[in-house]
Structure formats: structure tokens, C-alpha cells
Chains A and B, each alone.
Chain A
Amino acid sequence: MSDLIQVQDLKKHFPIGGGLFSKSKIKVIAADGVTFSIKRGETLGLVGESGCGKTTIGRLLTRVINADSGKVLFEGRDILLMSESEFRSIQKNIQMIFQDPQASLNPRMTIKAIIKEPFLVHRMYNKGRGHIDGEINRLIKGVGLSPEHLNRYPRELSGGQQQRVGICKAIALNPKFLILDEPTSSLDVSVQAQILNTLKIIQREMNLTYLFISHDLSVIKHMSNRIGVMYLGHLVEMAPADELFENILHPYTQALFSAIPTFRNEVRRFNLILQGDVPSPLKPPEGCRFHPRCPQCRKVCETEMPALVEVAEHHFVRCHL
């Protein structure tokens, strides 16, 4: 299988403060040299705490925000170097599903108008109105809603149904790549299960590639083939899902795994409670970003940033140990 998306050394710093005439001196480091690739039909899970940069990565890949440096190769072409019109021609292949379905649906449009919009934006109506209506009916059934929902407004639907509309809109133009940013975080667990099942089914049917962003390890484990763990703008560990759960190497990943509550019969290998808060991304620590909270911190960690090294097959870790 070939790579659909290759991300190389992607960087994004958000300047804050500063005015019209004075340049800002402080920067929020959101993504600092992130490199990964995703194969066709694969799901890469990105996990990490708030402020680690996982959402920024998703937004950079859709060019909602512009990267400072780095490359994003989609089917071999760098989307960051494309002109607006060039990007628009491939944009329909890269779609995003958001955390808050209510906020991402226009409250003044009917469900039908919302799903139709991508067709209009990308001028896909040349096959006639009847064709689009038929498409919309097919799509809405595919995500587990019925055509009678089409004439309603978003507020008339439950959170789970709204998220289904979000999915419907995202897959309307037959994309290749979906970025899912915490798609089930605002939903109840029983509804979450319905949505995750739907996502898995459409992935199989449409041969979609997913970048699945979440802070919930159990959801990430369920959905992903590979998992990347982020901390303060860096990938600190990346491995196939089963390998990561078998063999956790980075102390931060270990801490993250010991922090999640589990049932008794589920496996828990570490009992590591971190002291202190996540450092501010305004002023990330020198050397390894995790060293002030790391229980196994050594001298070298304070000064030198470790590189992301492949320690086992497909298992990458950024740690001196």
C-alpha cells in the first residue's frame, strides 16, 4: 500500500501579542517538526492532552491555517505549495469532521441545504438537480438517517444525528482522506458507539483514509491501525496500535496510560502519576519537552532534544532512554 499523505517536518508557531506596528516576540508552539505518513485505507490516531497540537495538525492538513514550514504531500504533491485554485481542485478529497456538530452546522439551513452545499461549492451540479437529490438521499441513508430528516433544521436533531449530518457532508464528494477531530467527544457513550460503527463501515465501503484525533485512548485504540502520541507540539511516540499497547516506551505515554481509569479486568502496566501541569506552549522547556515532569529524567534530557528514532519495527520513540 502506498502513502496517501506524507507530512514532513511540519511547523506552526502562533505569534501572540504584538500590535499593528510592533512585531510579536512571543510564540505559541503548536506543531514543531511533525513528521508522519498515512497509507491508503489506514487510520492513524493522534492522541495527547490539550495544547499538544493535535488539532493544529488537522487544521494544517486542510490548509484552514497556513503552516510556517514543512511539507504536506497528498498523493505526492505538496498541498502547501499549491495556489488557491490548484488546492481547490483537490480540496474535495480532504474533508474534516469536527467535535461540536452543532457549531459546525449552519442553524439557518435545512439539513438538505447543508449536505447540498459541497456540491454547489465544487460545481458538481452538471448532472442536473435530480442527480444531486438522488445522491443526497443515498448519502443520508448511508449514515443511518432517513430522507425525512432532510427538511429539518440542525436544532431539531439530537447530537448524534447532527454528527451524522456532519459525516454525511464530509463524505458527500467522495473524498479520499478524512480528518476526524474528536468526532465523538461531545456525545454519550451509547451514541458514540453508533457513530464509531458508522465511521468504520463507511471507511470500509469507500476505502477512506482517516486521521483520527482524540484524547480518549480507548476510542483511539478501537479506531486506529497506528497511533501517534503528541506532547507539546512533538510526536513523542508512534507505533502500530497493538504494538503500542503491548510495549509502551516513552515515559509520557506510560504516564498517559496509567492516568486513564480502567476496569479491573483490563490491563494496566504502569502506575505513574505525573506531578505538575503541562508546561505552557509559550515557553516549552529546553531539551526534551517532557523532562520537567519525567520521573526518569537524566542530565542529558535537560539540554538535548532527543530525536524520533525507530526502536522496533514501525515503533518510533523520542527519548534518550
Chain B
Amino acid sequence: MSKASANESLLQVRGLRTRFYTYEGEFDAVSGIDLDIRKNESVGLVGETGCGKSVTALSIMRLIQDPPGKIVSGFLVFKGEDLMSKSIGQMRAIRGAHITMIFQKPMTSLNPTFRIGTQMADIISLHKQLGKKEAWARSIELLKNVRVAVPENVVKRYPHELSGGMRQRVMIAIALSSNPDLIIADEPTTALDATIQKQILTLIDDLRQEFGFSMLFISHDLRTIYNVCDRIYVMYAGKIVEFGDIESVFEYPAHPYFSALMNSLPKFDIKKDSLGAIPGTIPSLLNPPTGCRFHPRCPFAFELCERETPNLREVGKDHRVACFRAMEGKNA
């Protein structure tokens, strides 16, 4: 992979704001975020429940259900084209062909009443003009790609006859079927056991080498993100609070939220009696705090944090943080 191609942009998200209209009121699940995915890159998106990770992913796919949700502003530039201006039909052609998705629960994404092969062939022939037999043969080939031992056998099975790991392999095979540029993986291994999770992550790594797709990897598991991603974005209450090169962000977590999150993880190498818990709870998005959204829980907050929203500022090479205090800490 040459340096030039490594920095080539694949997807640019600018000022994305996704709003939901509910009985309790309107709120922005994602409130004005910028995100970049370059070619051949694996980008991690991390954050806790309700921070807007999955809404970001669905917004990129333009799969936000309307009502109750709507992308109210922002640009999605994919391979130089604006996705926001695409019609439903054009978008459908892009989804599944250029951008595909792997979900957390493979059982609910597969239709329980059809054989694996039938489902796969269906999707394949949707994007490529292939006959029934060819599509069937192609699905066997795809299953071989994801290291399924006896694919001829697996295509004849129903989803419930497969194990969780095997189902997730089928999902990956489907996601790969059109040779996409970008795969969005939303917690792909959360529902799996540790040893199976390891198999799937190793498989995704190998496939990335082989097919060279980019990946947006969404997870709440910091260790998994650290192991599969090149860069990371940290979300809190609908905003990106820190992003950058994976090594840099994990070595010098600059945002108080992210460093607190790291401290709250039980560690293997350090014996501690108590964990660094973050006081309070995640703010309601219906009524988000003024200024920096983390300030009510932040030990370093001062009055400026309450008044003004910090911008993302550079703290290191390819490492930006939205915090007024982060720069000071760097100098101290």
C-alpha cells in the first residue's frame, strides 16, 4: 500500500446532524459531526449506549427511518459524490454494492425461513446479473472466502442450524459479495464468545488484506477497537470529542471523558482495589448540557466549559480533542 493511496479519502462526513422527532420532544442523536474514512483504512467509532454511534452508521447509509428520524443537515461525500443528493433508487444501488453493513445480531439479519444459499443468491443476483445456478455457485465461492470448511453443505442449511460464529461468517460473506469499498461493522462480535470473536476478528483482518476494503468499526469495547483499527473516533452525547491515530489516542488520551473511560476498565496488569468510575450518568439528549456536554461530570471543568462548546483542536500528529483543558494539560 503506497503512502499516496493510504491518504486518499473515501468517505467524508461533514456537519452531520440527525434529528429524531418523538412524543417527548425533538433531539439531535448526532449533532454536527465530521468524520473521515480513507482508502484501505479501518476506523473505529467508540462510545457508550446512546452516544449516537449506530445513528451515525445508519445516517451514512441513509437508512434513518423517517419518521421519526431525519438527517437535518450535513454532507456525505463518498468517492467524490454527494450521497445526500442521491435519490432513493440511486442510494439503493450504492448500498449493498459500494457500502455494505455487518450487524451485531446475525440471527435477526438472516431470514429464518430460507436456506443460506437461497438468501445469498438472492442478494448476489440483485446487484449482478447472474442466473440462479451461477448465483448459487458464487455463494459457495463467497463462503469459501470467509473460511467456511464445507461451503457446499452450509448453503443448504437454514440459519437456525448454524452456530453464531458461522452465521456471522455468512453475514460477512454477504457483505463482501459485491466487493464493496466500505464495510460498516456495527458491533460485529459483541454477541459472540471470546474464542469465536477472535476467529471473526482475525478473519476480518485477513479479508481486509486480501480485498482492500475500508471499514468503519463500531464498538463499545475499547480493547477490540485497539486491536482492529488504524484510527479512532470517540463519541459522547452525539458529538465527537476526540479522534486520531489509534496508538496516539490510546497512549495519550487527552479528553477527560476518554481517559476516564480508560480508567474505568478493569486492567490485567495493574491490581487496583477500585476502578475509576465516572460520576453521574449520560445526559439526556432532549436537554443536553450547555457548552461542553461532558462538563457536569468532568473533574477538570471550569466556567468556560459551561458557557462555550470547545472545538476539536490538534494535540498531536493526527490527533484532535474537543476540550479547553486538554491543551493546558499538554503544556503542564
Contacts and interface: CB of A to CB of B under 8 A. Distances in A.
A273 B196 CA distance: 9
A141 B196 CA distance: 41
A258 to B, nearest CB: 7
A242 B270 CA distance: 11
A264 B197 CA distance: 19
A267 interface: yes
Interface string B248-271: 001000000000110111111101
A200 B273 contact: yes
Contacts of B163: 277
A69 interface: no
B322 to A, nearest CB: 18
B33 interface: no
A264 to B, nearest CB: 8
Contacts of B134: none
A197 B274 contact: yes
A267 B268 contact: yes
Interface string B188-208: 000001111111011000000
A66 B277 CA distance: 39
Given A190-B48, A193-B275, A263 B226 contact: yes
Nearest to A274: B195
Interface residues of B, number: 41
A255 B267 contact: no
B223 interface: yes
Interface of A: 49-50, 158-161, 188-194, 196-197, 200, 215, 217-219, 221-223, 242, 245, 255-256, 258-267, 273-275, 277-278
Contacts of B260: 190
B267 A218 contact: yes
Contacts of A217: 194, 268
Contacts of A200: 273-274
A278 B226 CA distance: 26
Contacts of B263: 193
Contacts of B272: 222
A219 B275 CA distance: 11
A208 to B, nearest CB: 16
19 contacts: A49-B196, A50-B193, A159-B49, A189-B261, A193-B266, A197-B274, A215-B194, A222-B275, A242-B271, A256-B194, A260-B198, A260-B223, A261-B223, A263-B226, A263-B250, A264-B250, A266-B267, A267-B268, A273-B195
A277 B166 contact: yes
Nearest to B199: A273
Given A222-B267, A261-B226, 8 more contacts: A190-B48, A193-B275, A218-B265, A218-B267, A222-B275, A256-B195, A260-B223, A263-B226
A193 B195 contact: no
